[in-house]
Amino acid sequence: MKRFLFVGFLLIVIVVHSCRTRQQAQQTNTNAAVTDNWKLGVALWTFHTVNFPTSLSMVDSTGARYIEPNTFHKTGPELNDSLLGNLSPAGIEKLKAMVKEKNLIIGSIYLAGGKDIANWKKGFDIAKQLNVAYVTAEPPIDMWDAINDLAGSYGLKVAIHEHWKGTSAYWHPDSVLAAIKNHPNFGACADLGHWPKSGINPLDGVKKLEGHILGIHLKDIAAYNNPKLVDVVPGTGVVDFPAIFQELKKQGFKGHIYIERDAEDQPSNLPSLIQTVKYYNDQINKLK
């Protein structure tokens, strides 16, 4: 009789353990399914003090694979140090070859289009040739309709980026939502380190923009309501990244997360980026 009781008890233990293991595996698979759609990269403004090919070598050293170039980056001696936005189609092909050589992927590009629709068209031409998923930009308010239509004609989305109060019309999530309304080709680029300068909690900003976020600029800041501050290494300031990552997971976010530094560490921003990639991976692994 005792033998049968022991066998029965053993079977119960095995079943319970199996169920727990299955639940843990399902949880792990759920996390993987969500975060596998998060494309970690670097916004190349981080390396704006060096030329484009040098910045590629630095990104390659971080382990991140995606990049967001900008149209005002100097492209190096092979391309006569032209700004990226001034390159010919042949020059863009050479640029793409540089990126491919480093096994990197251009996920998006920051366009500085200004108030001339011809400049915006040229920027979209470059974006299309680079095969980006979307462009990041701050379209003038009086050009919303024109730029939305232009984006649609290229089959691209515009992720509206915000700076802080006094420097941009898009310092508040509500202003980004106002631009998105009735403009189906507009979305949002949530800059986590810029919002606090205007007194906005980045977590609140991410919540407000749910369903519209195409990309994230991952940066941190030491305090709220001080536009004179430069950013700090992510994880050392006021931005609650664990809560934001949890919120992005809840929203089913699928997009690019670009590490970006505005400050110029000496001798290079590279060490802080390597530190940030590790911090990001540690936090992603902790997601519930």
pLDDT given for residue 5 in this prediction: 42
Tens digits of residue pLDDT in 156-204: 999 999 999 999 999 999 999 999 999 999 999 999 999 999 999 999 9
Q: How far is CA 36 from CA 23, 29, 106, in A?
A: 19, 10, 18
186 membership: H or E segment, kind and range: strand 186-191
CA distance 2 to 207: 58
Give yes or no for a contact between 276 and 233, defined as CB atoms under 8 angstroms apart: yes
Digit-coded pLDDT (tens) for 6-24: 434 434 433 333 444 444 4
The answer to whether domain 37-285 has CATH 3.20.20.150 is: yes
User: How does pLDDT run across 197-247, given as a tens digit for each residue?
Assistant: 999 999 999 999 999 999 999 999 999 999 999 999 999 999 999 999 999
What pTM value is reported for the model?
0.88
